[in-house]
Amino acid sequence: MSKLTVVEGSYAVAHAAKVCRPDVIPAYPITPQTHIVEELSQFAANGEIGACEYITVESEFSAISALIGASAAGARTYSATTSQGLALMHEVLFNASGMRLPLVMTVANRAMSAPLSIWNDHQDSIAQRDTGWIQLYAEDPQEAADMTPQVYKICEDSKIMLPAMACFDGFILTHVYEPVVLLEQDLTDEFLPPFAPEHILDPSNPKTFGAFADPSIYSEFRYMQELGMSAALKKIETVADEFNEIYGRYYGGLIDGYYLDDAEIVLVAMGSVIGTIKDVLDELRAEGKKVGLLKIRSFRPFPTDAIRNAVKNAAIIVPLDKSISIGKYEGALCTEIKASLYNTKIDIPVLGYMFGHGGRDIPPERIKKIVSEAEKAIVNGITIESSYADLREELL
Amino acid sequence: MNKTTELFAPGHRGCAGCCDALAAKFMLKAVGENCIVVTPTGCLEVFSTPFPESAWNVPWIHSLFENTAAVASGIEAALKALGRKNDTKIMAIGGDGATIDIGIRGLSGAFERGHDFTYVCVDNEAYMNTGVQRSGGTPFAATTTTTPAGKASFGNLRPKKNMPQIMLAHGSPYVATTSIAYPKDMMRKVKKATEITGPTYVHVHAPCTTGWGFDGSKTIELGRLAVQTALWPMMEIENGDITGVHKIRNKRPVEEYLKAQKRFKHLFSIPDGAEIIKKIQELADWNADQYDL
């Protein structure tokens, strides 16, 4: 039986990063990610991460740029960021995936300014959706820690070679103290093989990284990234299973379900709100309501087939978004779930809700109200396809 | 890739008389094959690596325009962590825009952190790859496509940013200025810079045939005139002290340098041209006096 320790979520993740034996960690502070790089700096100062080079860079832009240089030179790399820091990296995110460098970053999800907000939502990572990074979302500190070696194993696969973000909610998960199993070094060494890339910067075998492509060749680079993402669809599942075999914990592969099999109302969500939803579902099921949860663990690659299969018998699908696409008036999950169902024989109404922006709390009552509105929509049909679930009308 | 004896191979797509190609070729000759090169986006990157071709017979990486020094610092950290640093040199080669303007934050950070690498700025005094726009390296009164001369302007209003002094302020153990027109001087300084532990900086003056408007056969001649007029002083600064200055035997008037280039041509026809040329001469005289050229 693994030993449970009460630690902060950030410590659990920093510890998980440490046991993955990173060679280079460029670090830059930003709330609410900072505790992760602070913990890692102490591990490095204690000599607990081997010969790891911990670099205190002058910006997130240089953090990820240093990751690119280090990874191209053959190093396993780690960093963590959030929000404005992730946005500052935007240009470099494309560059890393285009060069097929399997960088790993933890993203402590936070809202985007303006107005300035240090609290949680998913606008930051969702805004990086099309940069070619794998994106997984964790529901609690244990999953966030466990996800760390998993994403290394996924993105360092020679058929994938794409960078990955392990996302977990800022403050709600980074700053919460919970009992977790700190990842064991021996099990992690068994689970995660050393990084041994085929192509590196090496004077004994000179290679060119980052050439430019004219129109006759560019599309094929993008297509090959898509093939990498397709390979990741399978790998995310198998890695979750392998992790379960070695560590004895499982949080789903691409997706996971809770009371999903016979659910008429299927709530769809990512991240820490999953915990709240599970508690609410326990109550509602006790009342006999056929409500279930589809947890999206992998947002990129987007698990279209798995989602279709999971929701095909539902009466209504209810995506719950902590993002918003301003001008579309819905969140990314809502848009993508709807897109996944089009051109199929699945004809199920989709009722989208946005909530929890800028760290606004999502109490159980909010979920219950959404479920009751979904029940009415099953009978009466949908009048509004997407709306805010927690708008304070009195302020407008 | 065809193996040649050149570490920067011929057959690339640079202009005839290209300063970047000359710089890359001679610098790699000096530093040797145990070297990893990082370059930003720019002419050198574009003309040397049209996929699937590459002119580089050393490991080479291009990431973006403004992150060259940060990428180099990551490479250095990786080689150290993996036990592969040994005698391997890491050399960043950036243009003036990538170095002086858009990349200065990352460059400053990498020098402050003290990474063991050499940053070479090949300064052709404007954004040449995008079609000759003004940079912080563009000299006073030069015309570019964003500082044209007209009734209300004599061209670029400001003098060059003094980048070597900025790098010196970071405590770099070795800062040098040189010119592609003096290949032996450039090779010696770049080699020396890569052999000194810590972040070292070499600023190379590099006349651009296309951007400055002169015949491709005159690149070296223009570079020599910049030095001989004292507009481009060549020196070495070791641990903060000037340890070597290139002396000028027969100092030439700046007119000789200016009239050989289209970017200064307007100074010989506009009403206040003589006054501006006088100011440029004063800049040159200040250099000659300050550095005892």
Mean per-residue pLDDT for B113-121? 98
Mean per-residue pLDDT for A228-255? 98
Percent of chain B whose pLDDT exceeds 70: 99
Phi-psi region of B141 (alpha: psi -120 to 50; beta: other; left: phi over 0): left
d(CA B184, CA B181): 9
The predicted pLDDT at position A1 comes to 59
The predicted pLDDT at position A2 comes to 77
**Geometric angle at alpha carbon A287, from A285 and A290, rounded to 5°:** 45
> Which residues lie across from A106 on neighbouring strands?
A80, A166
Asked if the structure places residue B144 within a domain, the reply is yes
The predicted pLDDT at position A318 comes to 98
CB contact under 8 A, B78 and A91: no
Contact A211/B at CB under 8 A: yes
Residue A24 banded pLDDT, cuts 50, 70, 90 = very high
CB interface of B with A, residues 62-91, below 8 Å: 62-64, 66-67, 69-84, 88
CB contact under 8 A, B106 and A59: yes
Q: Which CATH architecture has domain A255-395?
A: 3-Layer(aba) Sandwich (3.40)
Q: Is residue B3 pLDDT above 80, yes or no?
A: no
The predicted pLDDT at position A217 comes to 96
The predicted pLDDT at position B227 comes to 98
CB contact under 8 A, A23 and B54: no
CATH of the domain at B182: 3.40.50.970
Q: Average pLDDT, whole number, for chain B?
A: 97
Asked if the structure places residue B10 within a domain, the reply is no
> Which residues lie across from A319 on neighbouring strands?
A268
Contact A207/B at CB under 8 A: yes
Return the higher-pLDDT residue of B4 and B247. Answer: B247
Q: Is residue A112 pLDDT above 70, yes or no?
A: yes
d(CA B247, CA B230): 9
Residue B12 banded pLDDT, cuts 50, 70, 90 = very high
Contact B116/A at CB under 8 A: no
3-state SS of chain B is CCCCCCCECCCCCCCCCCHHHHHHHHHHHHHCCCEEEEECCCHHHHHHCECCCCCECCCEEECCCCCHHHHHHHHHHHHHHCCCCCCCEEEEEEEHHHHHHCCHHHHHHHHHHCCCCEEEEEECCCECCCCCECCCCCCCCCCCCCCCEECCEECCCCCCCCHHHHHHCCCCCEEEEEECCCHHHHHHHHHHHHHCCCCEEEEEECCCHHHHHCCHHHHHHHHHHHHHCCCCCCEEEECCEEEEECCCCCCCCHHHHHCCCHHHHHHHCCCCHHHHHHHHHHHHHHHHHHCCC
Interface test with B, best of A79, A208, A218 (most B CBs within 10 A): A208
Q: Is residue A285 pLDDT above 80, yes or no?
A: yes
> How far apart are the two ends of chain B, measured CA to CA in Å?
45
Whether A255-395 and A4-247 are alike in CATH topology: the answer is yes
Q: Is residue A163 pLDDT above 50, yes or no?
A: yes
Q: Which residues contact B75 (CB under 8 A, 6 or more apart)?
A: A69, A70, A72, A73, A201, B36, B38, B61, B90, B117
Residue B1 banded pLDDT, cuts 50, 70, 90 = very low
CB contact under 8 A, B73 and A69: yes
The residue with tokens 């300035």 is A116
A-B contacts (CB, under 8 Å): 169
Smallest Cβ–Cβ distance between B78 and the set A58, A65, A75 belongs to A75
Q: What is the dihedral of CA B11, B13, B16, B20, to 10 degrees?
A: -100
Closest CA to A294 of A343, A329, A340: A340
Smallest Cβ–Cβ distance between A202 and the set B57, B59, B72 belongs to B59
State CA A28 to chain mean position distance.
20
Q: Are A144 and A181 in contact (CB under 8 A)?
A: no
> Which residues lie across from A167 on neighbouring strands?
A107, A137
Q: Is residue B30 pLDDT above 50, yes or no?
A: yes
d(CA A82, CA B71): 21
Contact A59/B at CB under 8 A: yes
Contact B244/A at CB under 8 A: no
The predicted pLDDT at position B5 comes to 79
CB contact under 8 A, B71 and A66: yes
Contact A56/B at CB under 8 A: yes
Q: Which residue of B has its CA nearest to A56?
A: B113
Q: Which residue of B has its CA nearest to A195?
A: B82
Q: Are B247 and B293 in contact (CB under 8 A)?
A: yes
Asked if the structure places residue B11 within a domain, the reply is no
Closest CA to A142 of A3, A322, A281: A3
The predicted pLDDT at position A50 comes to 92
Which tokens sit at B175?
């800062």
Chain B residues whose beta carbon lies within 8 Å of the beta carbon of residue A209? 59-62
Mean per-residue pLDDT for A173-186? 98
Residue A48 banded pLDDT, cuts 50, 70, 90 = very high
Asked if the structure places residue B9 within a domain, the reply is no
Mean per-residue pLDDT for B97-104? 98
Q: Which domain holds residue B278?
A: 19-291
Mean per-residue pLDDT for A320-340? 97
Mean per-residue pLDDT for B188-215? 98
CB contact under 8 A, A66 and B74: yes
Mean per-residue pLDDT for A127-146? 98
Mean per-residue pLDDT for A165-188? 98
CB contact under 8 A, A61 and B113: no
Q: Average pLDDT, whole number, for chain A?
A: 98
What topology is assigned to A4-247 in CATH?
Rossmann fold (3.40.50)
Report yes or no on whether pTM surpasses 0.95: yes
Contact A348/B at CB under 8 A: no
Distance, in angstroms, between B193 CA and closest chain A CA?
19
The predicted pLDDT at position B4 comes to 58
Q: Are B155 and B149 in contact (CB under 8 A)?
A: yes
d(CA B20, CA B45): 10
Interface test with A, best of B48, B71, B80, B116 (most A CBs within 10 A): B71
d(CA A239, CA A242): 5
Chain A residues whose beta carbon lies within 8 Å of the beta carbon of residue B85? none
Domain ranges of chain A: 4-247, 255-395
Asked if the structure places residue B2 within a domain, the reply is no
Contact B60/A at CB under 8 A: yes
Contact B51/A at CB under 8 A: yes
Mean per-residue pLDDT for A114-134? 98
Sign for the pseudo-dihedral over CA of A242, A247, A250, A252: negative
ipTM: 0.97
Residue A215 banded pLDDT, cuts 50, 70, 90 = very high
The answer to whether the peptide bond before residue B139 is cis (omega within 30 degrees of 0) is no
The residue with tokens 């016979």 is A262
Q: Are A50 and B57 in contact (CB under 8 A)?
A: no
Chain A residues whose beta carbon lies within 8 Å of the beta carbon of residue B71? 65-66, 68-69, 72
CB interface of A with B, residues 17-36, below 8 Å: 23-24, 26
β A104-109/A79-81 pair status? parallel
Domain count along chain B: 1
Contact B106/A at CB under 8 A: yes
